[in-house]
């Protein structure tokens, strides 16, 4: 069973100051997740998590993660600017962009970020833009084909399609990029790949690590490039459904360690650091979208209308993603009603849940939509003139802090030319 980190009493109290809908993040959970990740990879001297800013771009969150030893993974100008203002600098910033404008490379370089090149053509583009290449640089790898793990009768445990993904370089291009970067003055190299998203498997990172470690050994032998780090990127997932198993980050870290001992150490690359760029794993379970039931409708189906909509959390509307829902105060009541829980957009995909067994919902009930802490608020949009909600932080000692105010109509109209 998924348990909210907020009680009904707490939510009612918060609602007096900050009306629903709002996103709320759990500081205690965020710190615990970061500590578990760091412990799982403590065997690796240079280990660092670069939190994927796009998952939850909020200074309060980034500062907590920085206190836990994390860096940031940015992919746009504003993400770099936010990270800079939060105090991240130099190698605390990874810049993993694609189709990158020159001004973003310039800012990344000015901040001393580690630049992760998505394409072979970016080697010369970077050189032409900066007038040099940074001493430390990373290249993104794409092995092509399909990536699968754990075949069973039900299919593959993990399946994704790198051959159809726009990211990264082929093996030959990566080799070429390293040679060229070295000739242009680069000294320390990293290899990065993101092969599957939201994996529920303790084998994803170890399998990915094996591929990248082998590649590192090969590239290092062929080019003499000094491999300083392997970036396993994001993709370690979370169980959105209550019946899914949870990843065990300690087991994952141990699996990567074994691959490291088997491949990197014999290849003379035992000093290399492991980097991660997790977003979802770090934040998704540590955020709730909190909303109030405001309308019920009985037609061909039973509908519960809530004051949040897809503008606050797009994943169900665009991916058909499951997000668990708890009706606060009714945690132990039987789920003997079947509802579609819907938002107010003029868009029929605006449904947080379809045919969901839930306890009887009364108007005014407060609902927690789980696992909204990553790729939740940040994917929000202003369709239908809907305004983005507030973001709140539930601090470790129990108080609540506003970390982003709700938008007002003035915000919505601010960019218009009347
Ligand atoms: C989105 C992204 C991540 C984070 O992915 P999660 O699924 O949230 O772990 C990491 N690295 C890069 C380059 C990304 O684009």
Q: Is 232 in the pocket of ligand 1 (CB under 6 A)?
A: no
Q: How many residues does the chain have?
A: 418
**Both tokens assigned to 127:** 């050189």
pLDDT per position as a tens digit, 382-398: 999 999 999 999 999 99
CB distance 1 to 241 below 8 Å: no
Q: Computed from CA positions of residues 146, 149, 154, 160, in that sequence, does the dihedral angle turn out positive or negative? A: negative
Q: Is 194 in the pocket of ligand 1 (CB under 6 A)?
A: yes
Q: Is 280 in the pocket of ligand 1 (CB under 6 A)?
A: yes
pLDDT exceeds cutoff 90 at 132: yes
CA dist., res. 192 & res. 116, Å (int) = 8
**Both tokens assigned to 27:** 């500081």
Ligand 1 binding pocket mutation candidate from 233, 282, 283, 284 (most atoms within 8 A of CB): 233
pLDDT per position as a tens digit, 23-62: 999 999 999 999 999 999 999 999 999 999 999 999 999 9
What are the residues facing 379 on neighbouring strands?
none
Q: Could you tell me what percent of the chain has a pLDDT over 90?
A: 98
CA dist., res. 102 & res. 59, Å (int) = 25
**Both tokens assigned to 357:** 């067994």
Q: Which atom of ligand 1 is nearest to the CA of 277?
A: 10
The whole-number pLDDT of residue 219 equals 97
pLDDT per position as a tens digit, 288-320: 999 999 999 999 999 999 999 999 999 999 999
Question: In Å, how far are 294, 377, 393, 401 from 308, measured between CA atoms?
Answer: 10, 11, 18, 20
Q: Is 206 in the pocket of ligand 1 (CB under 6 A)?
A: no
pLDDT exceeds cutoff 90 at 151: no
Q: Which residues contact 2 (CB under 8 A, 6 or more apart)?
A: 242, 324, 326, 370
Domain with CATH 3.20.20.10 in the chain: 41-277
Domain with CATH 2.40.37.10 in the chain: 8-23+287-413
pLDDT per position as a tens digit, 327-382: 999 999 999 999 999 999 999 999 999 999 999 999 999 999 999 999 999 999 99
What are the DSSP E strand ranges found in 79-225?
Answer: 93-96, 114-117, 136-140, 147-152, 155-160, 188-192
Q: Which atom of ligand 1 is nearest to the CA of 140?
A: 13
Q: What superfamily does domain 8-23+287-413 belong to in CATH?
A: Lyase, Ornithine Decarboxylase; Chain A, domain 1 (2.40.37.10)
C-alpha 284 to ligand 1 mean position (Å): 12
CA dist., res. 156 & res. 148, Å (int) = 6
pLDDT per position as a tens digit, 60-70: 999 999 999 99
Q: Is 73 in the pocket of ligand 1 (CB under 6 A)?
A: yes
> What is 41-277's CATH topology?
TIM Barrel (3.20.20)
């Amino acid at each position: 069973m998924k348990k909210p980190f907020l009680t009904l009493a707490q939510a009612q109290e918060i609602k007096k100051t900050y009306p629903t809908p709002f996103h709320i993040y759990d500081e205690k959970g965020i710190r615990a997740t970061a500590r578990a990740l760091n412990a799982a990879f403590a065997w690796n001297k240079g280990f660092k998590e670069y939190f994927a800013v796009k998952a939850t771009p909020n200074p309060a969150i980034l500062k907590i993660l920085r206190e836990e030893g994390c860096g940031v993974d940015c992919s746009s100008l504003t993400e770099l600017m936010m990270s800079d203002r939060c105090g991240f600098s130099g190698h605390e910033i990874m810049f993993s962009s694609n189709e990158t404008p020159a001004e973003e490379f310039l800012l990344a370089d000015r901040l001393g970020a580690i630049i992760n090149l998505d394409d072979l053509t970016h080697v010369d583009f970077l050189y032409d833009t900066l007038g040099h290449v940074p001493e430390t640089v990373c290249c993104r790898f794409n092995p092509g084909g399909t990536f699968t793990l754990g075949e069973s009768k039900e299919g593959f445990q993990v399946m994704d399609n790198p051959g159809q993904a726009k990211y990264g370089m082929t093996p030959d291009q990566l080799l070429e990029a390293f040679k060229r970067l070295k000739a242009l003055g680069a000294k320390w190299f990293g290899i990065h790949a993101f092969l599957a998203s939201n994996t529920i498997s303790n084998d994803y990172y170890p399998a990915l690590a094996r591929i990248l470690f082998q590649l590192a050994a090969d590239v290092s032998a062929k080019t003499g490039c000094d491999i300083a780090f392997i970036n396993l990127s994001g993709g370690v997932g979370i169980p959105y459904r209550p019946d899914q198993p949870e990843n065990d980050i300690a087991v994952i870290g141990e699996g990567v360690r074994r691959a490291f001992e088997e491949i990197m150490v014999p290849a003379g690359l035992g000093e290399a650091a492991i980097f991660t760029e997790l977003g979802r794993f770090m934040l998704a379970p540590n955020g709730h979208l909190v909303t109030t039931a405001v309308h019920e409708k009985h037609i061909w189906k039973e509908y519960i209308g809530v004051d949040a909509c897809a503008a606050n959390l797009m994943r169900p509307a665009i991916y058909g993603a499951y997000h668990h829902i708890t009706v606060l105060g009714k945690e132990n009541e039987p789920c003997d009603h079947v509802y579609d829980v819907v938002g107010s957009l003029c868009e029929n995909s605006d449904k947080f849940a379809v045919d969901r067994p839930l306890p009887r919902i009364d108007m005014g009930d407060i609902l927690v939509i789980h696992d909204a802490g990553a790729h939740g608020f940040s994917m929000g949009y202003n369709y239908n003139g809907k305004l983005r909600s507030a973001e709140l932080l539930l601090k470790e000692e129990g108080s609540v802090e506003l970390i982003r105010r709700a938008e007002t109509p003035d915000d919505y109209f601010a960019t218009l030319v009347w």
